[in-house]
A and B are shown apart, each in its own frame.
Chain A
Amino acid sequence: MSTATTPTTSITLTAAESRRRSRPHAAWRGRVRRLPLALITIVLLVVEIYPLVWLLLGSLKTQSEFMNRPTWALPQNWANFANYATAWQAGISRNLLNSVIAVFPSLALIIVFGVAAGFALEVMVWKGRNTVLLLFLGGIMIPSQMILLPLFTVYFRIHLTGTMWPLVVTYTATGLPLTVFMMATYFRAIPRELFEAATIDGASLLRSFWSVAFPMMTNAIFTVGLVQFFFLWNDLLLAMTFTSGSGHNELATVQVGLLSFQGRFGSVQYGPTMAAICVNVLITLVLYLFLNQRVMKGMTAGAIKG
């Protein structure tokens, strides 16, 4: 203990002693005091888990069950997998593949470009770097609705419409501002001497970026990567605009595909929608549990500090 002056120590001792003496009482009191917290924790768990259960049950219900029975009712037929068949026929496997094709390359680009730019803006020393950082920061504030029309026009003119490229490029660009900003902040926390030790000249600086700086950022990369992943995976607006011919067609992502379970005049086919969501959630859940340990460590180790 850093405050190891005599008076404090004596207080510590007294406190510890008194605590030891009244132990049974304190423990009991402590448990009572903690009861509300335990309750809160349980409520929290229910609030978080019930929706998942509801989704799963919903995927087994027929349209008429949705319409005519209470929301919390159990499915009448536990082996009703017709919704999954419908969802599968509507092409959710294709949608999933499209989402993967659009999101993961973008994610890789965002991270590589973002870390490099963060390094250039924070570790490297040059005039104007603050201006460029601010330029990136400004990008966080641009609503993506604003860039839709010009981008659509350009993609069309250079014949990218009908491919996955518009999504990948747009995702990468919209993900960069936040990533660059956060990476720059992470690098700020690392003493420059660390890179100096590994660097002799300009050429080896690049190498030390790859071999020293990049690995040091692993936790930060996981954190930012996760945040970006959810942004991109859940994107509806850009996907709607750039996946020319959506719904049952070749380019629709998962989110766009989910919209296709609406009948005419906006009537929702609840069962197949739920089934499609369940498949989607299951895959994300697997991915999430797989990455979770890593991510939690990343987010804990590299808090976003301004």
Chain B
Amino acid sequence: MQHLTFSHVRLVAVGASVALALSLAACSSGGSPTTTTSAPTTTQFAFLGLNENTTVKDVLTSLQSGACASTVANYPLNASAYAQAQYDQQLQLLAGQNALPNLLVGPNAPALAVELNTAGDLVDFKQALSDVGSPNALLPAAASVVQSLYDGNLIGLPNEFNIEGVWYNKKILSDNNITAPTTWDQFTQANATLLAAGVQPWSVAGKGGDGWNVTRLVGNYIFRSLGPDAMDKVAAGTAKLTDAAYVAGADAVSAWGKAGYFGTAPTSIDYATAMNTFLTGQAAFYYMGSWALGDFNNTDENQIGADNIGFLPFPDVTGGTGSHDQIPANAGMPLMMSKAAYGPGSQAWLKCIADNYGYTSLSEKGVISGFAVNQTISNLPALTQQVQQIMASAPSSVLWFEAKFSAEATTTSQNDAGPLAEGTMSGADFMAAVQADLG
């Protein structure tokens, strides 16, 4: 009875795929964007965040039980999180199914947010905030950072508002008779003095994708030498990173690396290690954003003392058209809302966040956000107050090197930052690799 031939087997296979197709057709009406609910009167408010940053979740939880207890009672928070490295992938998969949660932390790559917005997946907060009666919830400076990041659209809520610059160890500088440098050349001199005295001048991270703090130096050098619109020109295609004036920025950083100003092996140093090197007094300078205030104010981590840390704006480049008072700023990974899931629940939460997030975030977590803070907070750490002052007095801001890049160019830039800082990759090679991915 040798009758079962291959055609039978094929029949089984075909039957199987037909079954699959049918099941697909049956369900192609689309999934519901929110998860099922336990009680009929409440609708869950789904929030998607990052494993690595629990601040947003903590603040939302606190709002739910505190300031907004009455307004969001019918929309209980349902928070989940992904690892940052997989986050953009998950967003794409969810968006592809039209299943973004009500509230989400924006993608790592700003380009992806723009793409989501173009596809009509995101809520425009300019309109939405007036609709809920809180049109002035955001600090104008923070709102403008968000807008310049996303092609002019206010699709993100600045749950953080950070400035970046050079933090320095006051004691190391005074021990070596160095006055706080304000130009790139003065920094170079200070570096040489420190290295000669056996002190590692800079603490940087260049392991894997942690190299962004190195590319910040490159980008800021370009902003100082070519002006604040330098990277916009690259995005528009009117300038290329391989142009001599741009390569100069990467070369300047590579030269510091070759001279050993970034330590033995930046490619082996991750974010936490670089932070630790600075906070244990093993390096004089550290480029970082103000979100690190939490670490600076933590007495366990910070062994050099918070009052021993000073802030310097990114230095001027001699002969450049940019200026040190154009402070590099960002809004962290702004919060976004799904348009498909936008309803009474989202609106109640938006109102709650708009009116209370700024205060709760600063008072409970010490994180400065881009929301207006409606009450005064006493006993803020001195360093935090200082940063707030700088923010308030800064006339204008710039974004960062990769802000307008595609995800691919961003990855290349941040991965190649390590070799650049180690001096094993030339500025020209670095810029050529990144430009190749920009197309």
Task: Say whether B31 contacts A246, CB under 8 Å.
Answer: no
Question: In the complex, are the beta carbons of B84 and A266 less than 8 A apart?
Answer: yes
Total A-B pairs, Cβ < 8 A: 112
A126's partner among B5, B50, B52, B81 (CB-CB below 8 A) is B5
- Name the B residues within 8 Å of A127 (CB-CB): 2, 4-6
In the complex, the chain B residue whose C-beta lies closest to that of A247 is B51
Tell me the smallest distance from the CB of A146 to a CB of chain B, in Å.
15
Chain A residue with the shortest CB-CB distance to B209: A266
CA distance A241 to B99 in the complex (A): 15
Once the chains bind, are A126 and B2 in contact (CB under 8 Å)? yes
From B3, B89, B275, B300, contact of A267 by CB (8 A): B275
Q: Give B22-51 interface residues, CB cut-off 8 Å to A.
A: 23-24, 27-28, 31, 35, 48, 50-51
User: Of the 9-residue stretches B110-118, B182-190, B266-274, B416-424, which lies at the interface with chain A?
Assistant: B266-274
A247 near B82 with CB under 8 A, answer yes
Q: How far is the CB of A222 from chain B (nearest CB, A)?
A: 30
Cβ of B363 < 8 Å from any Cβ of A? Answer: no
A246 to B74, CA, bound (A): 26
On chain A, the residues within 8 Å of B14 by CB distance are: none
State whether A267 and B81 are in contact (beta carbons under 8 Å apart), knowing that A156-B97, A162-B35 are contacts in the complex. Answer: no
Closest to B52 in A: A264
Q: A67-B276, A127-B6, A246-B51 are in contact. Are A267 and B83 (CB under 8 A)?
A: no
Evaluate contact between A248 and B52: CB separation under 8 angstroms: no
- Cβ–Cβ contact A152 & B93, under 8 A: yes
A292 to B89, CA, bound (A): 39
B134 interface residue, CB < 8 Å from A? no
Would you give the shortest CB distance from A206 to chain B, in whole angstroms?
Answer: 15
Cross-chain contact A157 with B270 (CB below 8 angstroms): no
Nearest Cβ in chain B — how far from A57, in angstroms?
20
Among B48, B276, B301, chain A packs the most CB atoms within 10 A around the CB of B276
Residue of chain B at shortest CB distance from A267: B272
> Which of A7-15, A28-36, A255-263, A276-284 is found at the contact surface with chain B?
A255-263
When chains A and B are docked, how far (Å) is the Cα of A256 from the Cα of B83? 9
> Contact residues of B with A, CB < 8 Å?
2-9, 20, 23-24, 27-28, 31, 35, 48, 50-53, 80-86, 89-90, 93, 96-97, 99, 208-210, 270-273, 275-276, 280, 291, 300-301
Please list 14 pairs of residues, one from A and one from B, whose beta carbons are closer than 8 Å in the complex, sorted by A's number.
A68-B280, A128-B8, A149-B93, A154-B24, A159-B31, A161-B31, A248-B81, A265-B271, A266-B52, A266-B84, A266-B210, A266-B270, A266-B271, A267-B275
